[in-house]
Structure 1
């Protein structure tokens, strides 16, 4: 077994897997779990990375000193483990508490990080609720909160279909030091991250779980993504522990983000941001924000592609103004019976002042001649419905 020594003398258990020629990837566990949190995802990552996993202080085979811990202390532990493993720089993936430690690490030692993946985590939690949980664990032990924790860790469907995995996590939770859990809970209670996140310079991916009730993406992950400059997002069909509930999707999101060449990623980011400006001008902030929030690991690449190419390369060309392009889109969508897209652009054009109702009518009259009366008839019906919804 390999151990690192923290600054205060605590022993920290770590495991190193994969070839020394691969870029290093550090995996940080959730509160109540140990490095086994990534057992299902690790084999899917080893082709691209050398993996450093460690038991967070207070968990697994690491020491559990008494007294409250801080995120700064826990981030220092990660650096100690990296040093012991001979790793100068690494990308860091953290789930829940692990994500909080990763954010602190990105602020504490940005020169040691090449990338940051924050899964199902938060930068600000209810301190009073965590104090209650800390008091319960210290007075009654982890059995008192086990069922509540497992209910937050996994979706009902996963618990029903994979009881053996749930029981494995339950056993690990109950074997965790109650003092270590409570001490880490204090780090969550006392964290002060949200206002500091704009200073993060490490390329960052924020992963949310669509079934996560512990740190829902809306209100937690979205706030992190908004605070960290240039942060990307991905939503997975999972609850609070996606590396267990959706390991292939989780590993795929990590590999897709961290595996990109930095220069290529920077160029793509520039094109994406340029396309996003046009997309917002044409469709409006509310619709674009909603669309981006719905991205998953399965759809994120497609969304990035249409933003870079359709909205930057095409909508950004100087040959036609946006009004002309809007009206062309309406005529083409009506001709091809692409009614979902047609309604979207009717709504956006009227809301954004991109064209008038009279101009819309003329486009549909023209469509009747060149695409046929049935197409125009449906287009008038769909457009009238949108106009009524807008109260115009």
Structure 2
């Protein structure tokens, strides 16, 4: 396990992704660890090299007693970047992580190329955090678990995803009380609000419409107003956006942080991979005709289909290609999409994608689950195609 030592504490860090991609540092909130970002990581890896760390007092990092400061936590991040060989990077942080990201950008501006401040604030209620620290000191983590969980997730998400909610609660209760109290002191004592104009770098502010801890009113709005040129994005989530809205957050981060050239290169790579799948399934002749028929009106639509349907879906490893072909036949027959049905029946039979016997069984099952009229037409269409194949036409 990779650790770096800073100011007497071991800080656990993890690096994922290609060295050819620009680095992005992801920082966790108080009461969570680097796994906070697990659902977001797969959506970011195509565009970034990702450095995550358990902030001091959290996860596998040490949890020394005493009050922490934002400056100390920022230096922990800089130390992890040094250990990972990263001179400068975009930094995205949730809640406490966003506060630390701002502190790092203010103290070490040469290390931060851009900021993404997710469900965070430049100033919190000092008395509220003093009370929370006291509760942890008196009753341990169990004493603030209900309060924290009520802010972490929206009630509807917690009900719909009980396993996720229970995992967050379990990890929260298991963390060192000294670590939580120390990080809470950093939040209590931070002095960021008056320094916001000094953040002269590209900054994205992400707020959650269901966030009761750091909503736009009183928190996000201060960031947008105080940071020159800050861009604001709203998500339908509570405080832990990476858990409740991972795809929306990943899209916002990629749109804001990924250089335009990198986005275009990524889109082209997805298109080329999808085109290879499309040619394998449908054949070069059909694909060449389709590409030749593109117009300025539909070219972007065709490119989107190639990237999504043919790369994202046909390129997935969960089903073999024969199964995917037969699924398309069944679905298009059920929906009466006879042009697509005919295309996939012809290419499936002509390119050894499935047998005539397998096609018959799919259409028999379609009759039961989608209706005899649909299957009747499907048998007629398939029979015509089989006759043309046999005749060599």
Shift in Å at residue 259 of structure 1?
A: 1.0
Name the CA distance, whole Å, in 1 between partners of 2:90 and 2:260: 13
Deviations 1:13-51 (A, max 9, x none): 001100111100000000000000000001100000000
Deviations 1:104-133 (A, max 9, x none): 011011111111000000111110110000
Name the CA distance, whole Å, in 2 between partners of 1:16 and 1:260: 21
- 2:164 equivalent in structure 1: 165
Point out where structure 2 has 5 or more consecutive residues left out of the alignment.
Answer: 264-393
* Mapping for residues 123-134 of structure 1, pairs under 5 Å: 123-134=122-133
- 2:255 equivalent in structure 1: 256
Shift in Å at residue 218 of structure 1?
A: 1.1
Shift in Å at residue 261 of structure 1?
A: 4.0
Deviations 1:317-339 (A, max 9, x none): xxxxxxxxxxxxxxxxxxxxxxx
Shift in Å at residue 5 of structure 1?
A: 1.2
- 2:387 equivalent in structure 1: none
- 1:294 equivalent in structure 2: none
Shift in Å at residue 75 of structure 1?
A: 0.3
Name the CA distance, whole Å, in 2 between partners of 1:136 and 1:9: 26
Name the CA distance, whole Å, in 2 between partners of 1:261 and 1:111: 22
Deviations 1:269-296 (A, max 9, x none): xxxxxxxxxxxxxxxxxxxxxxxxxxxx
Shift in Å at residue 139 of structure 1?
A: 1.3
Name the CA distance, whole Å, in 2 between partners of 1:113 and 1:129: 31
Name the CA distance, whole Å, in 1 between partners of 2:94 and 2:259: 21
- 1:4 equivalent in structure 2: 4
Shift in Å at residue 225 of structure 1?
A: 1.0
- 2:48 equivalent in structure 1: 49
- 1:87 equivalent in structure 2: 86
- 1:195 equivalent in structure 2: 194
Name the CA distance, whole Å, in 1 between partners of 2:223 and 2:260: 24
SS of 2:14's partner is strand
Name the CA distance, whole Å, in 2 between partners of 1:156 and 1:11: 36
Shift in Å at residue 188 of structure 1?
A: 0.3
Point out where structure 1 has 5 or more consecutive residues left out of the alignment.
Answer: 265-392
Query: Does the alignment pair 1:233 with 2:236?
Result: no
Name the CA distance, whole Å, in 1 between partners of 2:245 and 2:82: 31
SS of 1:125's partner is coil
Length-normalised TM-score, structure 1: 0.66
Name the CA distance, whole Å, in 2 between partners of 1:124 and 1:49: 30
- 2:302 equivalent in structure 1: none
Cα-Cα RMSD: 1.4
* Mapping for residues 98-113 of structure 1, pairs under 5 Å: 98-113=97-112
- 1:368 equivalent in structure 2: none
Name the CA distance, whole Å, in 1 between partners of 2:111 and 2:147: 36
Shift in Å at residue 219 of structure 1?
A: 0.8
* Mapping for residues 221-370 of structure 1, pairs under 5 Å: 221-261=220-260
- 1:209 equivalent in structure 2: 208
Name the CA distance, whole Å, in 2 between partners of 1:261 and 1:63: 39
Shift in Å at residue 9 of structure 1?
A: 2.4
SS of 2:204's partner is strand
Give runs of ≥4 in structure 1 deviating > 4 Å. none
SS of 1:145's partner is helix
- 2:17 equivalent in structure 1: 18
- 1:340 equivalent in structure 2: none
Name the CA distance, whole Å, in 2 between partners of 1:138 and 1:63: 18
Name the CA distance, whole Å, in 1 between partners of 2:259 and 2:90: 12
Give the greater-gyration-radius structure (CA): 2
Name the CA distance, whole Å, in 2 between partners of 1:113 and 1:105: 7
